[in-house]
């Protein structure tokens, strides 16, 4: 396999009004492969005027149509064809995602691309089911509700699951009849551009979906204040999310934000320890820990703490790390240099705070690539920064607990509330603890298991709004009541 995806698609270009073309400034930047540190291709560095062109295009496609008023079965037909197109281009998409993010090719094939097609099909199936309701009214009156799209949706996505997080927004937004302007993360724009081509070929009308690549501080920030955007769906850091919400208030646009996490994964003394350890490893280190729903805090009952840590360290020390294009690889590099630097900094912070390094702790690697070993800290106390702050890398902090109450208190003791999990064979404990955990999703005896119907989103500082499931499409609809007096 080469270092290049099918370069023809979108290389150095934006996708606006159904066509690829350069940014107004003509500026491009190198897109870097995190496994080799070599450039993959040039990417257009869009600016505010490019965003404005994209919004105008999406605005026309919404205001003039036909997308929002297209009969449901036709709109669904386009979405089904997009799913088929994703499957037909699966190898190209998987290669792009692997080169851009450093994710192992077995995962981009087996999860990222497969799920993208499935999510389009899931929401295609909902298009014809967006029913309103007849409501009680006076004897000579009729009252009913309509569910209508919002208008132009701005989708802003991060670098860790570029294709999936984009599709989580774009598929339900389109199914509801909206039009979209998407800004992928500056480090990982390649699948967004291929997706644009697939969508156009599937018959999506011009302007319904636009892609503007560029950086967050200029193009991303311009979304919040643009009067032509009706709603922003954002996934990224809590700090950026807060800035975005404040900036969006001026135009009163709707905003949903899926932000950071510091997931707590609880292992009780009655758990199936071998299964719990395997699950805890995946929870912490899947996607090299760059996963807002990661289980980056492992809370273990004191009576099984040492055994769990020993087994976990054995898994961490034997996991295949390396070239993401190699099918044997389980952990690839971090997606970009700043992320690696952040991980290295947090290893130092953990050591300075008095945490004990049980496994990993360095890049473990010579030569190019943003690799870092899976790293396990024990002797961690709940108030330490490594137990409180989202690191977004392969660092797991392990904390012991003695009682269920203490476990819940530690689990809930961060500002975040995106995902949590617990391992127990006691069904009463499972339900009781799940009810007490402050997070948008709780996994029991598993982690990160998803169906298309598995909605997720934040409690507390992890944001608001939900993605996937029936709740996912609600975020892109508004209700209208029609009250008719026939007297």
- Sorted by sequence, the CB contacts under 8 Å of residue 263 that are 6+ apart come out as 283, 293, 294, 295, 296, 297, 416, 418, 419, 420, 421, 439
Active site residue 258: yes
Angle at 113 between CA 110 and CA 115, to 5 degrees: 85
Residue 217 binds ligand ADP, judged by CB under 6 A: yes
252-264 residues labelled b (16+ CB within 10 A) or e (exposed): ebbbbbbbbbbbb
Min dist. Cβ of residue 410 to ligand ADP (A): 25
State residue 324 phi and psi, 5-degree precision.
-65, -20
Position closest to ligand ADP via CB: 216
Residue 86 binds ligand ADP, judged by CB under 6 A: no
Using CB under 6 A, which of 93, 95, 185, 316 touches ligand ADP? 185
Q: Which is nearer to ligand ADP, 193 or 312 (CB)?
A: 193
In a 3-state reduction of DSSP, which class is residue 180?
strand
Question: Active site residue: 186, 258, 390, 475, which one?
Answer: 258
Residue 14 binds ligand ADP, judged by CB under 6 A: no
Give the interface segment with ligand ADP, choosing from 73-81, 189-197, 213-221, 368-376 (CB under 6 A): 213-221
Residue 335 binds ligand ADP, judged by CB under 6 A: no
Residue 216 binds ligand ADP, judged by CB under 6 A: yes
Residue 240 binds ligand ADP, judged by CB under 6 A: yes
Distance CA 357, CA 360 (A): 7
Answer whether the bond into residue 66 is a cis peptide, omega within 30°: yes
Min dist. Cβ of residue 29 to ligand ADP (A): 13
x/- track of binding to ligand ADP for residues 35-74 (CB under 6 A):
----------------------------------------
Question: Active site residue: 97, 292, 390, 475, which one?
Answer: 292
Min dist. Cβ of residue 180 to ligand ADP (A): 15
Active site residue 292: yes
Q: CB burial class (10 A; 0-12, 13-18, 19+) of residue 34?
A: buried
In a 3-state reduction of DSSP, which class is residue 399?
strand
Min dist. Cβ of residue 175 to ligand ADP (A): 23
Distance CA 80, CA 183 (A): 23
274-293 residues labelled b (16+ CB within 10 A) or e (exposed): eebbebbbbbbbbbbbbbbb
Residue 249 binds ligand ADP, judged by CB under 6 A: no
Element (H, E) at 352: helix 337-353
Using CB under 6 A, which of 42, 143, 145, 237 touches ligand ADP? 237
Question: How many C-beta neighbours within 10 Å does residue 245 have?
Answer: 17
Min dist. Cβ of residue 255 to ligand ADP (A): 10
Catalytically active residues, by annotation: 258, 292
For ligand ADP, the binding residues (CB under 6 A) are 156-159, 183, 185-186, 215-217, 220-221, 223-224, 236-237, 240, 243-244
């Amino acid at each position: 396999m080469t270092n290049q995806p099918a370069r023809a698609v979108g290389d150095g270009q934006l996708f606006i009004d159904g066509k690829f073309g350069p940014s107004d400034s003509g500026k491009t930047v190198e897109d870097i492969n995190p496994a080799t540190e070599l450039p993959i291709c040039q990417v257009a560095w869009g600016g505010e005027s490019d965003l404005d062109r994209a919004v105008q295009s999406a605005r026309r496609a919404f205001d003039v149509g036909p997308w929002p008023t297209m009969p449901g079965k036709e709109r669904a037909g386009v979405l089904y064809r997009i799913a088929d197109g994703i499957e037909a281009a699966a190898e190209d998409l998987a290669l792009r995602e692997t080169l851009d993010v450093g994710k192992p090719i077995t995962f981009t094939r087996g999860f990222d691309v497969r799920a993208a097609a499935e999510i389009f099909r899931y929401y295609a199936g909902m298009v014809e089911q967006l029913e309103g309701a007849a409501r009680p009214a006076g004897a000579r009156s009729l009252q009913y509700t309509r569910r209508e799209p919002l208008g132009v949706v701005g989708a802003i996505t991060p670098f860790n699951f570029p294709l999936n997080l984009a599709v989580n927004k774009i598929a339900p937004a389109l199914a509801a009849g909206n039009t979209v302007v998407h800004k992928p993360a500056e480090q990982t724009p390649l699948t967004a551009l291929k997706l644009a081509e697939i969508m156009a070929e599937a018959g999506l009308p011009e302007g319904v979906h636009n892609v503007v690549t560029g950086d967050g501080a200029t193009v991303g920030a311009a979304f919040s204040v643009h009067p032509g955007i009706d709603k922003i769906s954002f996934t990224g850091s809590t700090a950026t999310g807060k800035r975005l919400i404040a900036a969006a208030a001026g135009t009163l646009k709707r905003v949903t934000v899926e932000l950071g996490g510091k997931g707590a994964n609880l292992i009780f003394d009655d758990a199936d320890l071998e299964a719990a350890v395997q699950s805890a490893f995946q929870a912490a280190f899947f996607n090299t820990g760059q996963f807002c729903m990661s289980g980056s805090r492992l809370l273990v009952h004191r009576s099984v703490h040492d055994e769990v840590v020993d087994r976990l360290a054995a898994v961490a020390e034997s996991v295949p790390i390396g070239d993401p294009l190699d099918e044997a690889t389980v952990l690839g590099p971090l997606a970009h240099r700043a992320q690696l630097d952040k991980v290295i900094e947090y290893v130092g912070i953990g050591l300075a705070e008095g945490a004990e390094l049980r496994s990993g702790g360095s890049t473990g690697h010579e030569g190019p690539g943003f690799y870092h070993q899976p790293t396990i800290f024990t002797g961690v106390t709940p108030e330490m920064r490594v137990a409180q702050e989202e690191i977004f890398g392969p660092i797991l902090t392990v904390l012991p607990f003695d009682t269920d109450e203490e476990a819940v208190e530690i689990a809930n003791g961060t500002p975040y509330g995106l995902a949590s999990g617990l391992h127990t064979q006691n069904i009463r404990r499972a339900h009781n603890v799940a009810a007490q955990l402050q997070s948008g999703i709780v996994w029991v005896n598993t982690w990160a298991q998803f169906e298309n119907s598995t909605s997720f989103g934040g409690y507390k500082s992890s944001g608001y709004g939900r993605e996937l499931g029936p709740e996912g499409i609600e975020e892109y609809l508004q209700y209208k009541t029609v009250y008719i007096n026939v007297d």
